[in-house]
Amino acid sequence: MILNRLIPLINVEDLDVSLDFYRNALGFTVENRHDLQGKPIWALIRHGEIALMLNRPDAADSNARRQRPSYGDTLLYFYVPDAQAAHEELAERGYAPGPLEEQTYGVAEFTLRDPDGYELACASLLGPQEERTLEDEDDD
């Protein structure tokens, strides 16, 4: 079997609210969407090579997810060029990112929750960027 792409699908309570968050906070654009009776029920969003599907099922309840502790479930992990700059920008714009921390595995990272409580991590590699790339991490 050959797998050549992964596009996570997450279920959300209000697709309009989620689309606003992913567009405004993270810079995603809507590549495709389907509406039912004038309301969006599914969308494919993209930011460069990153794609994500948002789906509004008939019934979605995000309360339990919103209450989970950090790293309590699935986490969407995004690499950014500068985690500190991303953290500052999101905080200035009112998105309340978690604390920026340097991890022993060589990244600076922070987490952020989307409107449905999905946890997103934003990380950048520590150390000289010319010497270390994401491909180097695959070798670790």
pLDDT of residue 45: 98
Q: Where are the domains of the chain?
A: 1-58, 71-140
> Could you count the other beta carbons within 10 Å of the beta carbon of residue 67?
9
Find the helix or strand (DSSP H, E) in which 67 lies.
helix 63-67
Strand-pair partners of 116: none
Phi then psi dihedrals of residue 16, to 5 deg: -60, -45
**Dist. CA 59–CA 33, nearest whole Å:** 19
pLDDT tier at 130, thresholds 50, 70, 90: very low
Strand-pair partners of 107: 125
Identify the architecture of domain 71-140 in CATH: Roll (3.10)
Mean pLDDT for 108-124 is: 95
The structure tokens 């494919």 sit at: 44
CATH number listed for the domain at residues 1-58:
3.30.720.120
pLDDT at residue 137 tops 70: no
pLDDT at residue 131 tops 50: no
Beta strands in 20-92 (DSSP E): 29-36, 39-47, 50-55, 75-79
| Per-residue model confidence as pLDDT tens digits over 1-11 | 999 999 999 99
**Dist. CA 102–CA 113, nearest whole Å:** 19
Find the helix or strand (DSSP H, E) in which 22 lies.
helix 15-26
pLDDT at residue 138 tops 70: no
| Per-residue model confidence as pLDDT tens digits over 79-108 | 999 999 999 999 999 999 999 999 999 999
| Per-residue model confidence as pLDDT tens digits over 25-78 | 999 999 999 999 988 999 999 999 999 999 998 877 777 777 777 767 788 999
Residue 117 is which amino acid? G
